[in-house]
Amino acid sequence: MAAEKKAIVISGDVVGSSYLKPGARKKLQHVLDIFIYESVQKWPDLEVEQYRGDSIQAILTSNRLAALRITLLLHSYLIQYAFKMRLAIGVGEISFRSKQVITSDGSAFQASGPYLDTLVKSGELISIAGNEEFTSEWQVHSSSLDYLIQHWSIQQAEAIYLQLQDLTQDAIAQKLKIKQPAVYYRLQGAGWSVVNKILTRFESVIPTV
């Protein structure tokens, strides 16, 4: 058996995908393809596989602390196109690695897949879990993020998506062709200050977990 390697697994499925018409499903696939391509360019260790057409599973090993940022980027990106996805982040290890992401195993997978099933039942959109101690804190943060994500408008999601890429408010204003104060109010309405605190906390604890 190979030695365990620290990893983060992100499991996701599209909300209401079975009700999508062919045109909307084609649009969704295009949107996902673009997001995955651009994300892999930025984080080369990110491995993403899509299965059943509406579900994804991704692994991060070297850039583990980027997992929550990537997840929030995906949430905010999809909302701009009127799609939503449940996403469960599992923090742990990979103990078995096969040629496919979806048939690999380890504690990171076990903290991701089952929590995705929980999201289906609860109607929530995000879960962050790991070992028992880690999960006890991060399920609270997950609930806070879920509340905010559920209430993002398309305009707020646009601003959050660009802010997550560390653009200044002036740069965001130029991209969105609006004035800087409008960017500020969109970010404020989206709860960016809370999102950023949780994101900073995640990025500070992941290297030691």
pLDDT digits (tens, 9 = 90+) for 31-69: 999 999 999 999 999 999 988 778 999 999 999 999 999
Do 59 and 97 contact (CB within 8 A), yes or no? no
Residue 97: per-residue pLDDT: 62
Classify residue 34: in a domain, yes or no: yes
Grade residue 1 by pLDDT with cuts at 50, 70 and 90.
very low
**Residue holding tokens 């504690």?**
107
Residue 129 domain boundaries = 5-150
Classify residue 170: in a domain, yes or no: no
Domain CATH for 91: 3.30.70.1230
Q: Tell me, rounded to whole angstroms, the distance of Cα 60 from its chain centroid.
A: 12
Residue type, 191: G
171 burial (CB, 10 Å; 0-12 / 13-18 / 19+) is middle
pLDDT of residue 19 exceeding 60, the answer is: yes
What's the domain count of the chain? Answer: 1
pLDDT in tens, 154-202: 999 999 999 999 999 999 999 999 999 999 999 999 999 999 999 999 9
Comparing 17-31, 62-76, 96-110, 122-136, which segment has the lowest mean pLDDT?
A: 96-110
At CB < 8 A and 24+ separation, what contacts does 137-141 make? 138/202, 141/198, 141/201, 141/202
Classify residue 49: in a domain, yes or no: yes
Pairing of strands 126-129, 85-94: parallel
The stretch 79-103 carries a mean pLDDT of 83
Classify residue 178: in a domain, yes or no: no
Do 139 and 147 contact (CB within 8 A), yes or no? no
Classify residue 101: in a domain, yes or no: yes
Residue 193: per-residue pLDDT: 98
pLDDT in tens, 123-153: 999 999 999 999 999 999 999 999 999 999 9
Classify residue 191: in a domain, yes or no: no
Q: Tell me, rounded to whole angstroms, the distance of Cα 50 from its chain centroid.
A: 15
Q: Where are the alpha helices (DSSP H) in the chain?
A: 22-42, 67-79, 107-110, 113-122, 132-150, 154-163, 169-176, 180-189, 192-205
What's the order of all strands across the beta sheet hosting 47-51?
47-51, 55-60, 5-14, 85-94, 126-129
Look over the chain and give the mean of its residue pLDDT values, rounded to a whole number. 92
More confidently predicted of 85 and 1: 85
Classify residue 157: in a domain, yes or no: no
Classify residue 164: in a domain, yes or no: no
